Structure 1
Amino acid sequence: MSTDGVAAGLAAVRGRRALRLAIGTALCLATSFGLGWPIPMVAPVVGAFVLASVDRPLSARAGVGLALVAMLATGSGLLVVPFLRHYPSSGVLMTGLGLFLAFRQGLRGGNSLVGTFLAAGLTMVSVAGTADIGLALTVVAALVKGLLLAVTVLALCFWLIPEPAAVPAQRRPPAMSQSAADWMALRAALVVMPTVLLALADPAAYMPILMKAVSLGRQSCTTARGAARELVGSTLFGGLLAILFWWALGLFVHLWMFFLWMLLFALLLARKLFAGPAGRLSPGFWLNTLVTLIILLGQSVEDSAAGKDVYHAFAVRMGLFIGVTLYACLMLELLDQRSRASSSTP
């Protein structure tokens, strides 16, 4: 086959994967909001992570197994709740250590989805449990239901848009060396931990910020050069898209229009995510932009349904997102400078 034919085939495969990601994310969003699930933004966020990282449909057995593992991973946050309530210093240290190990196992060749769920459990579930154990169980249920929905939608998307038989499965990135994995996992844990401390003051209000922090931690593990620039850029771009989405949705407010607009915005971002080596920005940039869009938009819909001032709440939330991201950038720059200085010392 000629070089042009190979390039055209790869472009077609990337187009199919982008379309599956867009359809799957929009379906997860419409289902969770349509059925009135608690914390409905969790399902499309989980769907985006699953559809961006899995290039083959999972069998029923594998899907249920992954859901069980995710339930155990997220439920692990419940074990930290008594320490955060009665021994805060020990609880915070245990949370930080758990985040380090969660990010590290993904960098060392483990399942990145399991690592993400473990990080979510150690942050969202444990922090929610300090306020109300019922809220913590609600977060666990939202994460597990979101994953089960994502796996189901993944199978549906592959049935609608199958992968060509001749296309080999994506190669998993090689595992990092132990020292490199330790360093990047430490960076990611330090990015997330201040948000955990902030959220302890009001767990219910800061739940979207925790989701954003976990996404930033995950992105900092996958982006080496220009990490700070990409973290800020993806957050700002996600906020801009959320404003445009909200304006477009206001033209005709309906669940199906919510689905169709998400399909359009997700498709635009997914095409960039799967652009391959030709892309100027990393896939993590586009995935974090999509996640930021979903969190901001989903919370605005919830604020509107509750009768809150959507624009004031959005401005406050966006300011917190930018603050968390700027802290993450500062932490990455300081740690990277120290790493370069130590490596250049004979």
Structure 2
Amino acid sequence: MQTSLSLPGQRALRVAAGTALTLAASFALDLPIPVVAPVFAVFLLATQNRPLSFKAALALALVVAATTGSGLLLVPLLRYYPLTGVLLVGLGLFLAFRFGLRGGNNLVATFLAAGLTMISAAGVADQQLAATVVGALIKGLLLAVLVSIVSHALFPEPARAPSQPAARGMPDHRAALVALQAALVVMPAWLLAMSDPASYMPIIMKSVSLGRQSCTTSARGAARELLGSTVVGGLLAIAFWFALRLFVNLWMFYLWMLLFGLVVGRKLHRISPTRYSPGFWLNSLVTMIILLGQSVQDSVAGKDVYRAFAVRMALFLAVTVYACLMLQIFDGTRRDEQTLERHTS
């Protein structure tokens, strides 16, 4: 395999095969929130060229413990001292995103943000639901890590492949400003989810993905990157859904995900170059998985799939427009600061 495929082709196949296997296994095992595992798998396989080391796996285990513990501890505060609880969640989001921007592991930052918001929102509504979300996050992360190890074993990096460059941290002032921006992108979706966590949990996952993407997107290209990737993800989910209806079984679910993963993976790894960034295609793939997974669950529950999809897509677009607005506001603030510095100097 190493000699017959180029390096980008190897990575695209690894992303597609690993994501498809995780998605199929997640639904086959009937995990509480089945889209969690494939979303984490996408982030793991698309951003890491090597399997997790023992040290990284231990760090992730500690993050799981810290996230679940802090999320559950915030529930009483949100119930009885809501303002204090909301401020603490905002602070936690800010610190999580700032950790990633200062050179920390972006996967850890994403898990912290997702876990903190999802667990706290579920706990306010029902303690049993919070326990379900905790179980979903832990099982989803374990499955994603396991499939990541298998995928790297099946499609290993060639020995001659260059090592992944270390993450470059932003200066303190810049990192703080961008982390605040990302936290504000996530907060409204989290506040909305507290009114009905079971229905709005996908909105939290989408907003965390947008918060992560907003850290590397300029205000000038925000509409194209954020809105464009959300629309493309929705269109891919629609195409996947109608393709899946031709043969409804788990094997076809896996095979269609493999095909769609390869199509996006080719663009993600520049085999089929486009004018859009890898982050655009990564966010499109994540959006497709969230929308598709929820539609499958709606179908199993006997809900009106098309109406639920339309409502969910409208909410995704609303959250994305809000993220674009935050980028424009913070970009204007940065320009004002730069103008003031030039005048004072």
What TM-score does the superposition give when structure 1 sets the normalisation length?
0.93
The answer to whether the aligner puts 1:307 opposite 2:285 as a matched pair is: no
The answer to whether the aligner puts 1:177 opposite 2:166 as a matched pair is: no
Q: Provide the rounded CA distance (Å) in 1 between the counterparts of 2:106 and 2:193.
A: 24
Aligned to 2:281: 286
How many Å apart are 1:321 and its aligned residue? 0.5
Aligned to 2:52: 58
Aligned to 2:31: 37
The answer to whether the aligner puts 1:110 opposite 2:104 as a matched pair is: yes
How many Å apart are 1:282 and its aligned residue? 1.7
Contact 1:228 1:333 in 2 (8 A): no
The answer to whether the aligner puts 1:327 opposite 2:341 as a matched pair is: no
Please point out which of 124, 134, 142 is paired with 1:140.
Answer: 134
The answer to whether the aligner puts 1:12 opposite 2:6 as a matched pair is: yes
Structure 2 residues without counterparts, runs of 5 or longer: none
- Higher mean Cα deviation, 245-254 or 64-73? 64-73
Contact 2:100 2:106 in 1 (8 A): yes
Aligned pairs for 1:201-280 (under 5 A) are 201-224=195-218, 226-275=221-270, 279-280=274-275
Q: Provide the rounded CA distance (Å) in 2 between the counterparts of 1:120 and 1:86.
A: 23
Check 1:338–1:61 CA distance in 2 against 1; reply closer, same or farther (3 A cut): closer
Aligned pairs for 1:19-30 (under 5 A) are 19-30=13-24
**Structure 1 residues 239-290: Cα deviation after superposition (integer angstroms, max 9, x where no partner):** 0110000000001101010111111111111111121895522221111101
The answer to whether the aligner puts 1:121 opposite 2:115 as a matched pair is: yes
How many Å apart are 1:201 and its aligned residue? 1.0
Aligned to 1:79: 73
Aligned to 1:187: 181
Q: Provide the rounded CA distance (Å) in 1 between the counterparts of 2:167 and 2:53.
A: 23
**Structure 1 residues 49-90: Cα deviation after superposition (integer angstroms, max 9, x where no partner):** 111111111246643552342332243211211111111111
2:338 is paired with a residue whose SS is helix
Contact 1:67 1:144 in 2 (8 A): no
Q: Provide the rounded CA distance (Å) in 2 between the counterparts of 1:244 and 1:238.
A: 10
Alpha carbon RMSD of aligned pairs, Å?
1.7
**Structure 1 residues 17-76: Cα deviation after superposition (integer angstroms, max 9, x where no partner):** 111011011111000101111111111111111111111112466435523423322432
- Higher mean Cα deviation, 270-279 or 24-33? 270-279
The answer to whether the aligner puts 1:295 opposite 2:290 as a matched pair is: yes
Q: Which amino acid aligns with 1:81?
A: V
The answer to whether the aligner puts 1:343 opposite 2:338 as a matched pair is: yes
Check 1:341–1:67 CA distance in 2 against 1; reply closer, same or farther (3 A cut): same
Percentage identity across paired residues of the two chains: 64
Contact 2:104 2:167 in 1 (8 A): no
Structure 1 residues without counterparts, runs of 5 or longer: 1-8
Q: Provide the rounded CA distance (Å) in 2 between the counterparts of 1:109 and 1:74.
A: 23
Q: Which amino acid aligns with 1:307?
A: G
Q: Provide the rounded CA distance (Å) in 2 between the counterparts of 1:228 and 1:210.
A: 20
Q: Provide the rounded CA distance (Å) in 2 between the counterparts of 1:62 and 1:331.
A: 33
- Higher mean Cα deviation, 19-28 or 332-341? 332-341
Q: Which amino acid aligns with 1:259?
A: Y
Aligned to 1:6: none
Q: Provide the rounded CA distance (Å) in 2 between the counterparts of 1:296 and 1:340.
A: 36
Contact 1:103 1:218 in 2 (8 A): yes
The answer to whether the aligner puts 1:198 opposite 2:200 as a matched pair is: no
What TM-score does the superposition give when structure 2 sets the normalisation length?
0.93
Q: Provide the rounded CA distance (Å) in 1 between the counterparts of 2:129 and 2:138.
A: 14
Q: Which amino acid aligns with 2:17?
A: I
Check 1:36–1:152 CA distance in 2 against 1; reply closer, same or farther (3 A cut): same
Q: Provide the rounded CA distance (Å) in 2 between the counterparts of 1:235 and 1:159.
A: 32
- Higher mean Cα deviation, 243-252 or 161-170? 161-170
Contact 1:70 1:114 in 2 (8 A): no
- How many residues were matched structurally? 337
Check 1:255–1:278 CA distance in 2 against 1; reply closer, same or farther (3 A cut): closer
Q: Following superposition, which runs of at least 4 residues in structure 1 exceed 6 angstroms of deviation?
A: none
Q: Provide the rounded CA distance (Å) in 1 between the counterparts of 2:260 and 2:319.
A: 24
How many Å apart are 1:337 and its aligned residue? 1.5
Aligned to 1:3: none
Q: Provide the rounded CA distance (Å) in 2 between the counterparts of 1:211 and 1:245.
A: 20
Please point out which of 128, 131, 144 is paired with 1:150.
Answer: 144
2:136 is paired with a residue whose SS is helix
